[in-house]
Amino acid sequence: MGKFTFTETKIKDLYVVEPTAFGDCRGYFMETYNERDFTEAGLCYSFVQDNQSCSRKGVLRGLHFQKNHPQAKLVRVLKGEVFDVAVDLRKGSKTYGQWVGVLLSEENKRQFLIPRGFAHGFLVVSDVAEFAYKCDDFYHLEDEGGIAYNDPALGVLWPDVGELILSEKDKHYPPLKESKIEF
């Protein structure tokens, strides 16, 4: 049995990755990434940076991207639950401006593989969530960008968690049409 199940979403190159967890009375063990298995599935990435955040219910982070140094990401939840979203911004893509949302949790252990050329964001739906992700390029502060999480043209269906908590920059990102970003 393979250690991972790779399921392509309705958007080409955007995958839900499900690792196999081996459990017993002590708990569980699982690989969250194995270069050989990913490469055999045609998903060739060289991750160079790992990040982790902790947020409370209602925190919405996104929709972010790096303008000149786009990053592929492999994201997962260590504790709690988030609704994770990727928006296709690839130039010439048939699905440009479309999004996919996936519920990631410590229980389902799913991961979301987001290639370069996508905006990314997530909403915490549990009381607290610890979120971890691998990136295939380094973060560059001066290169960050974003689009409005509530852009009506995108129509992202965020779960209702009550009041949203956003950073100042996330409150002021433009809609996709005004950002004119394409990768």
Task: Report how far residue 133's alpha carbon sits from residue 74's, in angstroms, rounded to the nearest whole number.
Answer: 5
pLDDT class of 147 with cuts at 50, 70, 90 = very high
**Tokens representing 182?**
């394409």
| 120 annotated active-site | no
Summarize the chain as % helix, strand, coil (round to 5).
10, 40, 50
Percent of the chain scored above 90 by pLDDT? Answer: 96
Q: Would you place residue 180 in the very low, low, confident or very high pLDDT band (cuts 50, 70, 90)?
A: confident
| Catalytic residue of the set 15, 133, 149, 173 | 133
Residues 6+ apart with CB under 8 A from 54: 128, 129, 130, 131
Look at the block and give the residue holding tokens 């219910």: 57
Instruction: Report d(CA 161, CA 125) in Å as an integer.
Output: 6
Looking up residue 75, the CATH number of its domain turns out to be 2.60.120.10
Instruction: Decide if 121 contacts 62 (C-beta within 8 A).
Output: yes
Instruction: Work out the pLDDT band at 182, boundaries 50, 70, 90.
Output: confident
Three-state DSSP at 60 gives strand
CB 143 within 8 A of CB 67: yes
- Whether the CB-CB separation of 13 and 7 falls below 8 Å is answered with no
Q: What angle do CA 33, 74, 118 make, to 5 degrees?
A: 155
% of the chain residues with pLDDT over 70 = 99
Is 28 annotated in the active site?
Answer: no
Cα gap 46→164, rounded to integer Å: 34
pLDDT reported for residue 52: 98
| Number of structural domains found in the chain | 1
Q: Which residue out of 15, 45, 64, 149 is catalytically annotated? A: 64
Q: Which domain holds residue 92?
A: 4-179
| Alpha-carbon distance values, 16 to 56, 69, 129 (Å) | 24, 23, 19
